[in-house]
A and B are shown apart, each in its own frame.
Chain A
């Protein structure tokens, strides 16, 4: 108690007040001086790097939510959907900080500004026309000002993320932006669908499969696996080791497709558009809700997708 009493009734002498006060003033000024000095030399740069890094992280999130489904998780583009963004053609090439090769895309379309501006402009306002017959869709307008769902800061972040690829742009195995107006050799026309397959396609859309699955030219769902080449996959899937250790019982391609519809839990594939396929998302009730005839047509339609 007496110590507490001593402390609370302590009265610093005049000299002590002056000394402690001066030391404190020096401490305060030193803290300001150190901050000012480090701001002038390196601190602002470090902060800048830190928040650019955080912008890249935030941009990555937006990219994987919105852009990856057409441009690919690795930015190398997806055939028929969207061109590469991580390629030399798009990003140009830098050595250190010096640009040794300009972005071919900007040259092709005669864009006057820089790449950051182009990316932000396209992301926000979209491209009203398809550059070529290679793409199934035009670029949507993602900016809130243009009816999309992304805020300005998200658009800036996603541009920062895309430009981060220019440290090491990809060169091989990519679908680059074509030159404006360049016509692509039309692909061989697909074998026309049989009436049963046509009915299967109708069943596919009628039963809402398109909400989660994509089929090139038919549906855009991005929850479950893309079914554009399901026929090819199904032809070999039932022979694979992974499948044999699962609960699946199919012995032919058609049986496998049939089983995938009525008992989706039997075998869940690994990769979906948004990462690992979650199990239990596809309803197990289609066996009951789709009529027997429709189901048969649907299997035949899906098997035709190669």
Chain B
């Protein structure tokens, strides 16, 4: 103490008080900025050109965060094209997921008894709880999109070619980690959506020949998803997959820096990689140009995400999971629709007659001893990732120029179209127009699904509570309910929907019988609680028997369906 004091006193004596304070302050400042003086930082903030020699490269040698970033980029990679900043955004969303995820972990318990009530707690009792959950969920969905686009961009610009093959390979692992994280997180809310989407997903694994049941048992911890499965998915979601993700992200990023950002294909000679040979006049320094650029993109992405979550976006939460009740039209998460589509082969192949498709089914089941579901879902599904991973190693073409890669670009385009088609065919309503992949039931139950689904929103539940006037309403073109225009309108919609189903057959060739009579019945059960019943009397088009389809829902004034 005394020594420091003595030095300080000496300094003040020799240089004066003001200069001493300035010098000491700058000292501290430079320690924080790893070598940049206040004037340098001010120049960066003002966008001034760097003085010579450039002091702004100093942090790159002195500090951790800057030393992992390149000192300069090639001018050609600083425009939107060719990177579109998709790699940066992927990393950003990964970071957002980690931060919001940690916040949610504080309030979440991974047990079937507590998980759903933790969710309710987060939504009703935790400040920023709903906001952070929305950020986490929307961020996850956007991350899948961004990561996929990032991969497509890399494919299109041919950036996976020598020397970046391994970067691409780690990228495919990161894609799988993204999907795995998204999927494992899907189960955690423990609602019907979570439970059944994951049941479907893991039952695909179950179907694999030989190892399937073992894999399934490892994932679920029991034959069915329960306490063990929830805990395992939680651990996958918060420990194992993020760990693998971070390791591969580090390697991926190291490779990116090691080889530099690939230049637009037409800027370098065929077979040559000149990303690291940047002539001084083409260099754009990281400080301040690249840094401010990146900060701008990060700020825009976060603003859009946060404003979305503060306004229109709400992460879904359905009713508590119930292993005994399977909601109609259960689907896997949207990024696995294509896998569901694969399971429907050969019934979704255009121009293939239905009989032939059935024949193929039987042939592969009886003669090859493997059902098409197993073949396509278990064998071919994972092969897609293997195929992606080996792309750089099997593509013999050294050129990155678009004009010289017509075959590969066409194959890539076809692959994208195929995945989109399979995704369409994978959803229960199937491909529009042709109806391939349609898995609907009898027409009345489809009406029930549309107007009063087991989970989620249906038309009949959108009637404002004060317009749910107690009574029995015959479904007709003009129900004529006084003072309830919305009720009237929705019953009318129901009527026209029925008329449509009477006149047009669904993709299974099923029509609603002409003698169908439907009623909507509204009963008050309790103060602020009504029961709405949809009753459809019809003649079954397959058996010719008179049938009665009834479905009901309870609607509370405040439940905001």
Contact = CB atoms under 8 A, between A and B. Distances in A.
Contacts of B526: 56, 60, 161, 164-165, 167
B555 interface: yes
B292 interface: yes
Contacts of A276: 535, 550
B116 interface: yes
B395 interface: no
Interface string A146-187: 000001111000000100110110000000000000000000
Given A9-B80, A164-B527, A14 B131 contact: no
A60 B130 contact: no
A124 to B, nearest CB: 13
A34 B310 contact: yes
Choose among B131, B293, B303 the residue with the greatest number of A CB atoms under 10 Å from its CB: B303
Contact of B555 (A22, A48, A57): A57
A31 B123 contact: no
Interface stretch (A37-45, A133-141, A242-250): A37-45
Contact of B299 (A25, A36, A279): A25
B81 interface: yes
A61 B128 CA distance: 31
A51 B123 contact: yes
Contacts of B302: 24, 28
A31 B128 contact: no
A275 interface: yes
Contact of A44 (B125, B292, B529, B554): B125
Contacts of B474: none
A276 B519 CA distance: 13
Contacts of B310: 31-32, 34-35
A218 interface: no
Of A17, A50, A164, A278, the most chain B CB neighbours within 10 A belong to A17
A153 B78 contact: no
Interface in B114-165: 116-117, 120, 123-125, 127-131
B510 interface: no
Contacts of B80: 7-10
A80 interface: no
Given A164-B528, A276-B550, A24 B113 contact: no
Contacts of A21: 292, 295-296, 299-300
A43 B155 CA distance: 45
Nearest to B134: A35
A60 B288 contact: no
Given A39-B131, A44-B124, A276-B535, A58 B289 contact: no
A20 interface: yes
A110 interface: no
B159 to A, nearest CB: 15
Interface of B: 47, 78-81, 84, 113, 116-117, 120, 123-125, 127-131, 288-289, 292-293, 295-296, 299-300, 302-303, 306-307, 309-311, 319-320, 525-529, 531, 533, 535, 545-548, 550, 552-560
9 contacts: A17-B293, A18-B292, A21-B292, A31-B303, A50-B558, A51-B124, A52-B558, A167-B528, A280-B547
Interface of A: 7-12, 14-15, 17-18, 20-25, 27-28, 30-32, 34-36, 39-40, 43-44, 47-54, 56-58, 60-61, 73, 151-154, 161, 164-165, 167-168, 275-276, 278-280
